[in-house]
Amino acid sequence: MVTNRRSWLKQLGLGAAGIGVGRLETIAAPFSDFPADDEPVRLVANENPYGPSPLAKKAMADHIALSNRYTRNITEALRAALAKKNNVSADNILTSAGSTEILDIAARVAVLKKGSTVSPSPSFNYWTSIAEKFGIERILVPLTADKKIDLPAVLSAIQPNTGVVYICNPNNPTGTLCSRKELVEFVTEASKKALILVDEAYIDFTEEQSLCDLVQGNKNLVIARTFSKIYGLAGARAGYAIAHPDTIQLFAGMQPWPNGSISVVSAAAAIASLGDEQFTKMVYSRIRHSKKYAIEQMERMGIRCIPSYTNFIYFSLAQYKKDYFKQLTLNNITGTGIWEEDGKWSRITVGTQHEMEKFIRAIA
Ligand SMILES: Cc1ncc(COP(=O)(O)O)c(C=O)c1O
């Protein structure tokens, strides 16, 4: 069935009353194989256009009526499910309202240590902005020429006062991946000097293995994970950390209510998502397919793209002759701005095949 945005708002009972329509206008409609041509296309925040999974939606509906209860039991069930999935124990898991909450706590740990932070640049801008907000000294390490994280340079940049080192793997906005072998060597050395926060928000779009098996033997390693990407639950706000139990305790102490940040409805969705492999496999293969299509088309136009291990593409507008941002606006597409001025690098989220075809037509 074709659902357009207006009928969707109507179903929510918001259309007629006009409540919140202004804000909802900026959100794309739920996934449809046959979207209306005038639907806005949101390719800005690396969201998953297909989610939430059918099982997650059912679990959310089933748990609405339990929202009068605090989350304790269901959060414990979520921690147990996450422990099983990652082959660790529940003591190694801290749940959070999205993984940005874990990044936020890590920044506060750096503040407590009165130390600097080291991170590659460009990387996930939330990390750099939160560090700035807390007034932490930021040491930024440029990427290599092919936009990969320069791990030896990051290691050398660590100072005696460094509290936290942030590594996003695969990296946002570039989509590049450090191999597990490179990272294990890096973490072994770097964690002798500082807490290493490895953000694996996009690891599910790769074939690479997580570092979560290392946490039991290393108190200075924290892995941040999210349900916002392959599971399609960005608006549900569910994330978690995997770390040594002592480190989990330290991080939990900085939450208003340890493990209490995720609502009953979102926790139910997260648990159900973990059991919906059919959905994640579908997302994985559809994103791969539309990413390949978009990169091939962009490269045919002379736009240099960095090989991506994620659901977004980093590309240079240096050789592009039209006004890229005007083309997006004219076609009701939201993309991102520029990251590195000198090479005019920008990022586009990989949406559905239909959305990527619309994007390519818009910039052709
Ligand atoms: C690298 C990275 N980490 C974390 C997040 C945020 O995740 P969450 O929605 O779980 O807070 C994002 C979102 O785009 C991201 O790109």
Average pLDDT over all residues of the chain: 91
Predicted confidence band of residue 128 (pLDDT cuts 50, 70, 90): confident
Predicted confidence band of residue 16 (pLDDT cuts 50, 70, 90): very low
237-279 tens-digit pLDDT: 999 999 999 999 999 999 999 999 999 999 999 999 999 999 9
Nearest CA, atom 2, ligand 1:
201
**Higher per-residue confidence, 20 vs 314:** 314
Give the span between the Cα atoms of 243 and 295, in whole angstroms.
Answer: 36
Ligand 1 pocket test, pick from 42, 82, 99, 206 with the greatest ligand atom count within 8 Å of Cβ, gives: 99
**Predicted pLDDT of residue 124:** 96
Q: Is the CB of 98 under 6 A from ligand 1?
A: yes
**Predicted pLDDT of residue 358:** 96
**Region 70-95: what's the mean pLDDT?**
96
| Token pair for 79 | 């921690």
**Region 62-75: what's the mean pLDDT?**
93
Q: Where are the domains of the chain?
A: 5-51+277-363, 56-274
Weakest mean pLDDT among 60-69, 127-136, 210-219:
127-136
Nearest CA, atom 12, ligand 1:
201
Predicted confidence band of residue 140 (pLDDT cuts 50, 70, 90): very high
Q: Helix, strand, coil % (nearest 5) of the chain?
A: 45, 15, 40
Q: What's this model's pTM, rounded to 2 decimal places?
A: 0.93
Weakest mean pLDDT among 31-45, 55-69, 200-214:
31-45
| Rg, the chain, Cα only | 21
Q: Could you tell me which residues come within 8 angstroms of residue 317 by beta carbon, excluding any fewer than 6 positions away? A: 303, 324, 338, 344, 345, 346
**Predicted pLDDT of residue 231:** 98
Weakest mean pLDDT among 59-63, 88-92, 128-132, 169-173:
128-132
| CA atoms in the 13 A half-sphere facing the CB of 139 | 18
Give the span between the Cα atoms of 226 and 210, in whole angstroms.
Answer: 13
**Predicted pLDDT of residue 11:** 46
Q: Could you tell me which residues come within 8 angstroms of residue 238 by beta carbon, excluding any fewer than 6 positions away? A: 95, 96, 97, 98, 226, 227, 228, 262, 266, 267, 269, 270
Pick among 3.90.100.10, 3.30.360.10, 3.40.710.10, 3.40.640.10: CATH of 56-274 = 3.40.640.10
Closest CA to 136 of 122, 157, 121, 116: 116
Ligand 1 pocket test, pick from 46, 124, 166, 230 with the greatest ligand atom count within 8 Å of Cβ, gives: 124
Q: Is the CB of 226 under 6 A from ligand 1?
A: yes
**Topology annotation, domain 5-51+277-363:** Aspartate Aminotransferase, domain 1 (3.90.1150)
What is the Å distance from ligand 1's center to 99 Cα? 6
Q: How far apart are the first and last CA of the chain?
A: 30
Query: What are residue 49's phi and psi, to 5 degrees?
Result: -70, -15
**Higher per-residue confidence, 32 vs 181:** 181
Closest CA to 49 of 359, 364, 331, 363: 359
